[in-house]
Structure 1
Amino acid sequence: MVGAIVSCPGQGGRYGGPVRNVPLAEVDHVGRAVLPVGTDYPPGHLLDWHEHRRAQFLYGATGVMVVDTAQGNWTVPPERAVLIPAATRHRVRMLEVSTRSLYVEPGAVPWWPATCTVVDVPPLLRELLAAAAAFGPDYDLAGREGAVAALLLHEIAALAPLPFHVGIPASADLAGLCRAYLAEPDAGTTNREWAGLVAMSERAFTRRFRAETGESPAVWRGRARLLAAVPLLRTAQVGEVAGRLGYASPAAFTAAFTRAFGAPPSRFTARP
C-alpha cells in the first residue's frame, strides 16, 4: 500500500499507534494472523499491479473500488468489501475511497475463496473494522484486541458473495476486447463487430467466447454495462446514468440493474 509512514515504534519494539497509510511491507513481519491497515487515497488513484503474501479483506466505507485480475473484474460499491486471495496479482482503481484492510495469514483462513469475491459488510462487521483500525500492528492477542481479530474472521467467513463481477477470458485477444469494453462500454457494440476485430466469423467467435467465459458476448456486455453504472451513480441520478449507458428509459435500466444485483440503482445513487 502507498501513503505516509506509520508512527514509529516505541520502547520495547512496540508500535506507537494504529497502522494507517503505511506500506504492508513495513508490518508484514509482525507475528499476527490478522493485520488491520487503513489507507486514504486521492480521487481516481490507481494502485497498479501487485500482490500480497497474505490474503486481503479490502473494505471501502466510501466511494467505489474496481479490482482487476487476470481472471476477472470486480466492482465494489460503498460499504462493501472484496476478499482477495493470497498471492493474487491485482490492481485497484480507487474512486474517492478510504479503505480499511485486513491482511490475513493464509494458514489462518483455509476457507478463504480461491478467487476475488465481493461481499456485503453488515453493521456488526463495520463496527469491528472500525475498532480494529485503532490497533497497533503488535496488538495484544490475549486481550480485547485479540478477541476482536478472532471475531472478525468468524464474521467474514459467514458472508455470502455478491454478483458484482464479470469474468475475463484467458486468451489475450478476447481479454483485450473485454478490458477495452470495461473502460468504455458502448451499447451499440455487436458480436459481428467484436468477431471482426479478432478475424473470426460471428458464430465461431460467439462459441469461443462462451467457452472461455461461460456466457454469450451479448450477456457479458450487458453485465459489464451494469457494472459501469455503479461508479457513475456516485455523482449522477438514475435517469442520467441510464441515458449514458444506452438504456431506452430509466425504468428499463432500473429493471435490468435490479435483476442483476438484487437491489435497485437508487440504493447506490448520488443523493440530492
Structure 2
Amino acid sequence: MRNIPVAEVDDLDRAVLAIGTDYPHDYLLARHEHRRAQVLYAATGVMRVETAEGAWTVPTARAVLIPPGTPHQVTMVGVSTRSLYIEPGAVPWFPPHCRVVEVSALLRALILDAVEMEPRYPDHGRDATLVSLILHELRNLTPLPLDVPFPTDPGLRRLCEAFLRAPDIHDPPARWAAALNVSARTLGRLFHRDTGMSFQQWRQRACIAHSLQQMAAGVPVTRLAAALGYDNPAAFTAAFKKLLGRPPTAFHTGAGPGRRGPR
C-alpha cells in the first residue's frame, strides 16, 4: 500500500499493515497517535520524532519504534517512509518508549516487500510467512543512542528546546544555571534526575542528533562542525564516532545496512 492514511485500513484483521508514504521536503507531520505499534523506517532522508518525553533522530535506512497510543509529531527532511503498523498483541515485547534502531539488510528487504503486498493478505502462504519473519526479525534490533530526552522541570525543558534549535557544543552549563537561578551542582542533579545523563552528555548527543538533520539537508561536515562550535572537523568526527561507532560519512550519504534506492 502506498500513500494512504492508516486510518483507512486500521480495522483490517491482519497483524501487520505495511504502508509506503512520500513526503514533501521539510514537511511537518502534526502531532497524532496510532492504535497500533509503528515501525517507522526512513527509506530516504532523515526524520525527527518528538513526543512529550523527548526527540529521536532517525537517519536514512534506520527506523524508530513508536509504541501504540503515543502522541508524536515527525519532521521530515527529504523523507520517503515505509511503515509497519502492528497489532499490539502481536508484539508484546514492544518497548514502552520510542527507540531508534538499526535495520538489517534482511529486515529492510522484508519491509520493502511487505509494502507491495495486498492489505488483506491470505492467512496462509507466502505473504503470511513474510509477515511472520518480519515479526521474528523485529525482536533482534540493535538500538542507536539517538534519543534526546526532555526534562520534566519546565524551566530546564525550555532551555533544552531552545538549545535544540541552535546547538553549540561549548554552551557553558554556567549560563543554564544562571538562567534557572540555581547552582551548577543543582543543574547537574536536575539533568541526571530528568534525563539520566550529565549536562555534557546531553549536550553532545543533542549536537550529534542535530548534525544528522543538517547533513541530510546537504550541509558539508566542515561547515557543520564550525556551526556547532567544534574546534575543527576532526573533533566533530571523533565525537560523532564515539557516539555512533561510525564516522559521519557512514550517515552522510544515507549509507546503512543493505542500503539501496527505495522501492
TM-score, normalised relative to structure 1:
0.89
Matches within 5 A, 1:95-106: 95-106=77-88
Given the alignment of the two structures, is residue 37 of structure 1 paired with residue 25 of structure 2, yes or no? no
Give distance in 2, aligned partners of 1:133 and 1:270: 24
User: Structure 1 regions of 5+ residues with no counterpart?
Assistant: 1-18
The corresponding residue for 1:207 is 189
Rounded Cα–Cα distance in structure 1 between residues aligned with 2:189 and 2:170: 21
Query: 2: distance between equivalents of 1:198 and 1:48?
Result: 30
Residue 125 of structure 1 and its aligned partner are, at CA, apart by 1.1
The structure having more radius of gyration, on CA atoms, is 1
- Which residue pairs with 2:135 in the alignment? 153
CA-based RMSD of the aligned residues comes to 1.4
Residue 143 of structure 1 pairs with residue 129 of structure 2: no
Distance apart, 1:227 and its partner CA: 1.0
1:161 alignment partner, SS class: coil
Q: Which residue is 1:264 aligned to?
A: 247
CA–CA distance in structure 1, aligned partners of residues 64 and 4 of structure 2: 20
1:54 matched to which residue of 2? Answer: 36
- AA aligned to 1:104 is I
Higher alpha-carbon deviation: 73-82 or 191-200? 191-200
Contact kept? 1:236, 1:270, Cα under 8 Å: no
Post-superposition offset of 1:136: 2.3
1:216-246 per-position Cα deviation (integer Å, ceiling 9, x unaligned): 2222112111111111222133222211211
Structure 1 counterpart of 2:141, which letter? L
By how many angstroms is 1:270 displaced? 4.7
**Counterpart in the other structure of 1:254:** 237
TM-score scaled by length of structure 2: 0.92
Work out the number of aligned pairs and report it. Answer: 253
C-alpha distance in structure 2 between counterparts of 1:246 and 1:223, whole Å: 14
| Aligned partner letter, 1:172 | P
What letter matches 2:145 in structure 1?
Answer: P
- CA distance in 1 between counterparts of 2:229 and 2:157 reads 23
Structure 1 runs (4+) deviating above 4 angstroms are none
Residue segments in structure 2 that go unaligned for 5+ positions in a row: 255-263
The separation in 2 between residues aligned to 1:208 and 1:147, in whole angstroms, is: 48
1:1-272 mapped onto 2 (5 Å cutoff): 19-234=1-216, 235-270=218-253
Higher RCO (C-alpha under 8 Å, 6+ residues apart)? 2
Equivalent position amino acid for 1:182 in 2: L
Give the stretch that moved more between structures: 136-145 or 192-201. Answer: 192-201
